[in-house]
Amino acid sequence: MAKIAFFSTQSYDRRFFENSSGKHSFEFFETRLKPNTVKLANGFDGVCVFVNDRVNEEVLKSLSDMKVGLVALRCAGFNNVDLKAAEKYNIRVMRVPAYSPEAVAEHAMALIMSLARKIHKAYSRVREGNFSLEKLSGFTIHGKTIGVIGTGKIGQAFINIAKGFGAEVIAYDKFPNEKVSKDGVRYYDFDTVLAKSDILSLHCPLTPETHHLINRESLAKMKEGAMLVNTSRGKLVDTASVIESLKNGHLGSLAIDVYEQEEKLFFRDLSDLVIRDDQIAQLMIFPNVLITAHQGFFTAESLQEITNTTLKNFDDYQEGRSSENEVSCSLIKDC
């Protein structure tokens, strides 16, 4: 039996994990894992973390000092873990590589549809008894060019949906996928995808190379009036440049499920507080911006899959087995 300390616990994590296997013992902490909370992991075999826990060298060294040998991510992305330090301190890192790529892809399309047809504005308008259509005119997705950056599991699920709309789908990936090309999606270089897309949707991981992939220069190369959609990781986008581009009218609209500084905001109810992050406060009042708080993954099906795979990861760790869900430096460049 492995003793696991959960960090960043939400009620649904507790519900799903408590209802599953009695093989391991869990303790649930609401706080994020970071240097000043890592002591809570003392006496446990492993920690189970989410997207905004800070698993840096300092945290990993402390875990190693406390003989905690496993970092189990309840997510696919692992950009918040210093894999080099994990290797140095001999700590195994496992993740849930795919739970429901379709869930994230569907959320990306839901954002696009809402923004394209101003559903977010229409919803509040009708609730107030205002049935006017003035200023609600949108655009038809059929026939538009949708650019996909990153054609992995989520990118491909998104492409299938986008094709169903009758959009022309084009893509950029550092490692183009033959199957995607065979399915009729044409790959171009990054700049060409920027220039051709009416809607640009990001589905690549956050790495040192993709940090601020969307910045002042790349925004300037985008089509005037285009929509930018980010359901991948906040730091892919330089928020200051996006605000500037929205203000000068070059970027037509923005839909984000992830935000550069989301660590300080997301997964918490801050409704009785003043939001001190000026950039998100500004984006929240733009009429052509739609923000959700990292809920792309959040379906019953995904939560069950995350639970099942994470429990299997605990089993593999406990039994000393190798795992296809293990992440290590060899998986990424610039580790």
Catalytic residue among 294, 305, 324, 326: 294
Task: Locate 100 and state its tokens.
Answer: 């429901």
Indicate whether 175 belongs to the interface with ligand NAI (CB under 6 A). Answer: yes
The residue at minimum Cβ distance from ligand NAI is 152
CB of 262 to ligand NAI, least distance (A): 10
Least Cα distance to 30 among 57, 12, 43 occurs for 12
Catalytic residue among 95, 107, 233, 260: 233
Least Cα distance to 142 among 118, 124, 119, 116 occurs for 116
CB of 134 to ligand NAI, least distance (A): 33
Phi, psi of 25 (to 5 degrees): -110, 140
**Which positions ≥6 away from 72 have C-beta within 8 Å?**
4, 46, 47, 48, 49, 94, 95, 310, 313, 314, 317
CB of 98 to ligand NAI, least distance (A): 6
106: number of Cβ within 10 Å: 17
Least Cα distance to 306 among 109, 34, 49 occurs for 49
Which residues in 271-330 contact ligand NAI (CB under 6 A)? 294, 296-297
**Which positions ≥6 away from 316 have C-beta within 8 Å?**
94, 322, 323, 325
Indicate whether 234 belongs to the interface with ligand NAI (CB under 6 A). Answer: no
CA distance 71 to 4: 10
CB of 160 to ligand NAI, least distance (A): 13
Indicate whether 217 belongs to the interface with ligand NAI (CB under 6 A). Answer: no
Least Cα distance to 259 among 219, 228, 303 occurs for 228
Whether 262 is a known active-site residue: answer yes
Least Cα distance to 186 among 199, 194, 177 occurs for 177
Indicate whether 154 belongs to the interface with ligand NAI (CB under 6 A). Answer: yes
CB of 302 to ligand NAI, least distance (A): 8
Burial (CB < 10 A; 0-12, 13-18, 19+), residue 282, is middle
Whether 321 is a known active-site residue: answer no
Whether 276 is a known active-site residue: answer no
Indicate whether 231 belongs to the interface with ligand NAI (CB under 6 A). Answer: yes
Task: Locate 142 and state its tokens.
Answer: 């059929």
Among 83, 242, 258, 290, binds ligand NAI (CB under 6 A): 258
Indicate whether 76 belongs to the interface with ligand NAI (CB under 6 A). Answer: yes
Indicate whether 210 belongs to the interface with ligand NAI (CB under 6 A). Answer: yes
96 within 8 A of 325, measured Cβ to Cβ: yes
Nearer to ligand NAI, 52 or 232 (CB): 232
Nearer to ligand NAI, 68 or 109 (CB): 109
Which residues in 83-142 contact ligand NAI (CB under 6 A)? 98, 101, 104
CB of 309 to ligand NAI, least distance (A): 13
CA distance 232 to 207: 12
Indicate whether 150 belongs to the interface with ligand NAI (CB under 6 A). Answer: yes
Indicate whether 266 belongs to the interface with ligand NAI (CB under 6 A). Answer: no
- Distance from chain centroid for Cα 245: 23
Indicate whether 23 belongs to the interface with ligand NAI (CB under 6 A). Answer: no
Least Cα distance to 302 among 13, 14, 7, 48 occurs for 13
Among 209, 276, 300, 331, binds ligand NAI (CB under 6 A): 209
Q: Applying CB under 6 A, which residues contact ligand NAI?
A: 76-77, 98, 101, 104, 149-155, 172-175, 203-206, 209-210, 231-233, 257-258, 294, 296-297
